[in-house]
């Protein structure tokens, strides 16, 4: 009886430490050098897991699950704000939703850590662990439409491996983070070899950043990004909506620019129900001022089941037919109901809309200028900039060269949380992967301009009503990642895992 209590106590401590380490790892992502700090934290995690030398596969799976749960609950807690504070869902159900999503995300971490138990441990284990982590992260961004938020890659904007992103993407950065964190454990046994290996990889990664695959194109364009800072509400209040539309309309016409952008759904009414003549009025302003304008609004399309709304960006250019981009990658339970879950949405009154999906082959938005070549911009709406492979594919397959990235978003759903800084890092990673500058037009923040290296060039304070007026240089060219997407790193990871399995069978 005493032995059983001792074992239970030991196991409880083991799981509690993993839960805390997961939370610390998530918190480190928000620190100035978070990408560096996360690596030794992961080393501690691997060391702690290795203490359970004879742990069963089941216990290793549960250990990885609890570690992942601590990580994602801290990283994704802000979903509670959108469900409870904005959507009005019951507090207990909102907490349960955050917990269940975090648990689902943690399964991928858990499956990746099984490599420690399933494969013969050696100095090569770091390669196999990195490969399994890459495969699991790829699947996390693909299964059930994917939700690859809070990956290790975006933290590398403040870490040693960011320069690898233009070559092989964020997943390659993840691979190197995992490998390095494991290799640190080998220093005790193989001090010289491990230190030299780690130093060489970091130096080569930093040197890789000296090569640029894109170059400036044409003259810089003048830009105005309008941040309205309107609270999110699901209540239909015509007066508030009218005030919001009036604010953005007045701000647009205050000053001409080559490009003026307002955030996602800044006009929160369906396009056909906007005030009479509003779009014609803005088109007239575009014609007179030679300004290109991007508007976030609710579109409407006709389908087999009748009319359906879309999350749309409408572009107005001087003396040109209006452009439109309908959001392609919709948020499950936020913008569409996954098959078989309508009962859940109705039973628990989940705050959402059921939008139509845009085509993945939509052309970029062309920013016209008198006497100069057009600047073509690839548009993403809200969390579409999480999916690096999809954006790289759109740019690589575009008939027109893409010179600029534009993200229009509204994070008022998530209040004063780290959601905005997390998405900013994702946008930075997309710029780094593609070698293109980016504009982020947001409702509450962080409205910003990013360089082709992912660095923030200028930004507005969060939760302020303001304009960001600046100039942006377009770039031309394609990085290796845009050309190859995730194929190289996925191929390498699969080969390593196959090698690991063959090697394991021999021992």
Q: How far apart are CA 252 and CA 333, in angstroms?
A: 33
Q: How far apart are CA 406 and CA 117, in angstroms?
A: 44
> For residue range 420-445, what is the model confidence (pLDDT) as tens digits?
999 999 999 999 999 999 999 999 98
Q: What is the arithmetic mean of pLDDT over 108-136?
A: 89
CATH assignment at residue 473 = 3.60.110.10
Q: Is residue 347 part of a domain?
A: no
Task: Answer yes or no: are the C-beta atoms of 223 and 231 closer than 8 Å.
Answer: no
Two tokens, residue 123: 């100095």
> For residue range 471-485, what is the model confidence (pLDDT) as tens digits?
999 999 999 999 999
**Residue for token digits 């919001």?**
244
Query: Angle at the Cα of 481 (from 475 to 484), degrees rounded to 5?
Result: 125
- The set of catalytic residues is 264, 327, 382
Q: Is residue 346 part of a domain?
A: no
Q: In the predicted model, is pLDDT for residue 348 greater than 50?
A: no
Same domain, 151 and 274: no
Q: How far apart are CA 504 and CA 153, in angstroms?
A: 29
Q: Is residue 27 part of a domain?
A: yes
Residue 43: count of CB within 10 angstroms of its CB? 17
The rounded percent of the chain whose pLDDT value lies above 70 is 91
Same domain, 288 and 393: yes
How confident is the model at residue 266, as a pLDDT?
92
Q: How far apart are CA 37 and CA 28, in angstroms?
A: 7
More confident: 171 or 270? 171
Q: pTM, whole model, 2 decimals?
A: 0.92
Host domain of residue 407: 215-330+358-478
Same domain, 368 and 434: yes
The domain total for the chain is 2
Q: Is residue 353 part of a domain?
A: no
Chain-centre distance of CA 333, in angstroms?
A: 17
Q: How far apart are CA 55 and CA 476, in angstroms?
A: 53
Same domain, 160 and 191: yes
Q: In the predicted model, is pLDDT for residue 336 greater than 80?
A: no
> For residue range 246-301, what is the model confidence (pLDDT) as tens digits?
999 999 999 999 999 999 999 988 888 889 899 999 999 999 999 999 999 998 88
Q: What is the arithmetic mean of pLDDT over 300-307?
A: 73
**Residue for token digits 């947001």?**
442
Same domain, 290 and 228: yes
Q: What is the arithmetic mean of pLDDT over 311-329?
A: 92
Same domain, 456 and 424: yes
Q: In the predicted model, is pLDDT for residue 351 greater than 50?
A: no
Two tokens, residue 306: 């009748």
Q: Is residue 351 part of a domain?
A: no
How far from 195 is each of 122, 188, 200, 201, 472, CA to CA, in Å?
Answer: 17, 10, 8, 10, 42
Q: Is residue 338 part of a domain?
A: no
Q: What is the arithmetic mean of pLDDT over 152-170?
A: 96
Report the sign of the C-alpha dihedral through residues 234, 237, 240, 244, in that order. Answer: positive
Q: What is the CA radius of gyration of the chain?
A: 24
Two tokens, residue 414: 């998530």
Same domain, 128 and 236: no
* Omega within 30 of 0 (cis) for the link into 285: no
Same domain, 222 and 86: no
Same domain, 79 and 45: yes
Q: In the predicted model, is pLDDT for residue 119 greater than 80?
A: no
Same domain, 196 and 92: yes
Q: Is residue 348 part of a domain?
A: no
**Residue for token digits 């897991």?**
49
Q: Is residue 41 part of a domain?
A: yes
Same domain, 239 and 323: yes
Q: How far apart are CA 313 and CA 439, in angstroms?
A: 14
> For residue range 177-233, what is the model confidence (pLDDT) as tens digits?
999 999 999 998 888 899 999 999 999 999 999 999 999 999 999 999 999 999 877
Residue 319 exposed, middle or buried by CB count within 10 Å (0-12, 13-18, 19+)? exposed
Q: 3-class SS at 190?
A: coil
More confident: 56 or 288? 288
DSSP classification of residue 413: G
Q: What is the arithmetic mean of pLDDT over 296-310?
A: 81
Two tokens, residue 312: 């749309």
How confident is the model at residue 393, as a pLDDT?
94
Same domain, 286 and 168: no
> For residue range 388-410, what is the model confidence (pLDDT) as tens digits?
999 999 999 999 999 999 999 99
Q: How far apart are CA 184 and CA 182, in angstroms?
A: 5
């Amino acid at each position: 009886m005493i032995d059983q209590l001792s074992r239970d106590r030991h196991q409880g401590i083991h799981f509690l430490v993993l839960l805390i380490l997961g939370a610390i790892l998530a918190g480190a992502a928000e620190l100035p050098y978070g990408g560096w700090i996360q690596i030794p934290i992961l080393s501690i995690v691997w060391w702690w897991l290795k203490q359970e030398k004879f742990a069963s596969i089941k216990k290793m799976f549960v250990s990885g699950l609890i570690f992942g749960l601590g990580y994602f609950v801290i990283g994704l807690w802000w979903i509670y704000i959108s469900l409870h504070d904005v959507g009005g869902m019951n507090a207990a159900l909102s907490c349960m939703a955050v917990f269940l999503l975090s648990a689902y995300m943690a399964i991928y971490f858990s499956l990746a850590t099984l490599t420690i138990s399933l494969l013969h441990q050696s100095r090569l284990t770091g390669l196999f662990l990195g490969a399994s982590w890459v495969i699991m992260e790829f699947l996390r961004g693909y299964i059930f439409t994917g939700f690859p938020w809070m990956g290790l890659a975006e933290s590398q904007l403040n870490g040693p491996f960011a320069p690898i992103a233009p070559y092989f993407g964020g997943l390659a950065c993840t691979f190197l983070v995992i490998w390095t964190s494991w290799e640190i454990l080998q220093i005790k046994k193989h001090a010289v070899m491990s230190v030299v290996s780690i130093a060489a990889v970091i130096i080569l990664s930093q040197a890789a950043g000296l090569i640029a695959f894109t170059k400036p194109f044409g003259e810089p364009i003048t830009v105005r990004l309008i941040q309205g800072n309107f609270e999110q509400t699901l209540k239909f209040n015509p007066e508030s909506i009218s005030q919001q539309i009036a604010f953005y309309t007045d701000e647009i016409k205050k000053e001409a620019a080559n490009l003026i952008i307002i955030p996602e759904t800044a006009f929160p009414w369906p396009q056909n129900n906007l005030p009479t003549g509003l779009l014609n009025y803005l088109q007239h302003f575009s014609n007179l001022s030679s300004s290109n304008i991007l508007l976030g609004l609710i579109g409407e399309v006709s389908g087999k089941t009748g009319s359906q709304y879309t999350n749309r960006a409408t572009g107005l250019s001087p003396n040109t037919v209006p452009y439109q981009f309908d959001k392609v990658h919709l948020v499950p339970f936020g913008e569409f109901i996954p098959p078989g879950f309508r009962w859940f949405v109705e039973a628990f009154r989940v705050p959402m809309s059921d939008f139509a999906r845009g085509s993945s082959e939509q052309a970029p938005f062309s920013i016209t200028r008198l006497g100069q070549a057009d600047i073509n911009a690839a548009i993403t709406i809200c969390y579409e900039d999480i999916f690096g492979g999809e954006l790289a594919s759109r740019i690589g397959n575009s008939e027109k060269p893409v010179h600029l990235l534009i993200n229009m978003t509204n994070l008022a759903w998530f209040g004063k949380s780290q959601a905005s800084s997390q998405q900013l890092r994702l946008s930075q990673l997309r710029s780094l992967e593609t070698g293109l500058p980016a504009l982020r037009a947001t409702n509450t923040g962080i409205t910003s301009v990013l360089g082709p290296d992912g660095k923030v060039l200028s930004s507005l304070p969060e939760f302020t009503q303001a304009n960001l007026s600046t100039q942006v240089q377009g770039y031309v060219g394609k990085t290796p990642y845009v050309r190859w997407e995730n194929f190289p790193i996925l191929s390498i990871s699969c080969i390593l895992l196959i090698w690991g399995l063959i090697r394991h069978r021999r021992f």
